[in-house]
A and B are shown apart, each in its own frame.
Chain A
């Protein structure tokens, strides 16, 4: 920090060069180091409200059958509904309520992992707040980022929100069973995904019936 005196003795300038967004990125890097030290694979699950983030996590947990080797941080504004739903699958669950915030940030994750017992945990899912905008700008330190959208959000979601889909390591199109009723063409959404982020897997799922779940498990490098 450089202090420059100017305009007489009592007025002074403080030069900071402090990048406020970099603070989150640095904390995210620290979180990642912590996960690496503990041999935990951390996965950030992002997606719009009602796209099926919780259902997808539940379906993955059911298929993995890893019990307490999996932990989940469930982010939500104020309720514990998601945490309760996930708990029935036998994983460690911690609810993080963001209150008025529209996204989880690296500091909230740091606090969450301080509070969790992560001994023996191999995989950590972080369910972000339902939102396709803000979470993209706030990395949490996860090794992989998965973005879920669903056919019920209509045909334009990917083209409207390329920012977050560009950040994704896996893109999931959920509720594929409803495509016809919604008059949405999944192939068009897949073409949009390939245009925005051509090198990542695009997986069609029905989280409630289990369609596509094993493909997600493979894409995330999780062993069954």
Chain B
């Protein structure tokens, strides 16, 4: 839902970091996005490409990896990933339930991150 603002923040961080390290051209950036964030990976990629235009990062490769969710159910004690039939859709955002007992009382251990992991640049 808020891909534009998050992408702007990522682009700002990339450009600031490149400048601080005397990077003349950014070749690639590597991101990791949790599958329980409300971020659509394709849209994030699109906005980063667009926002890079006209900067030292124009045309840089944007690699985005998904971070698998890890949940802990407070009702039945289940620990693990989310339901496999929810992985490919956005249903897990709205139906965040335990795959074992269907309870909503889950604690998210992993899957809500949006990490800028690595930037490759030319000095």
Contact = CB atoms under 8 A, between A and B. Distances in A.
A35 B10 CA distance: 29
Contacts of B93: 163
A72 to B, nearest CB: 24
A161 B115 CA distance: 25
Chain A, interface size category, equals: 35 or more
B56 interface: no
B38 A10 contact: no
Interface stretch (B1-9, B57-65, B81-89): B1-9
Nearest to A199: B105
A100 B4 contact: yes
B72 interface: no
Interface SS of chain B = mixed
A12 B120 contact: yes
A181 interface: no
Interface in B1-59: 1-2, 4-6, 9-10, 13, 17, 21, 23, 27, 37-38
Interface in B76-123: 93-96, 104-105, 112-123
Interface residues of B, number: 32
Contacts of A53: none
Interface in A18-73: 18-23
B27 to A, nearest CB: 7
B13 A18 contact: yes
A131 B105 CA distance: 23
Contacts of A197: 104
Interface of B: 1-2, 4-6, 9-10, 13, 17, 21, 23, 27, 37-38, 93-96, 104-105, 112-123
Interface of A: 3, 9-23, 100-103, 105, 131, 133-134, 136-138, 159-163, 166, 195-198
6 contacts: A12-B21, A16-B13, A16-B17, A18-B116, A161-B94, A162-B104
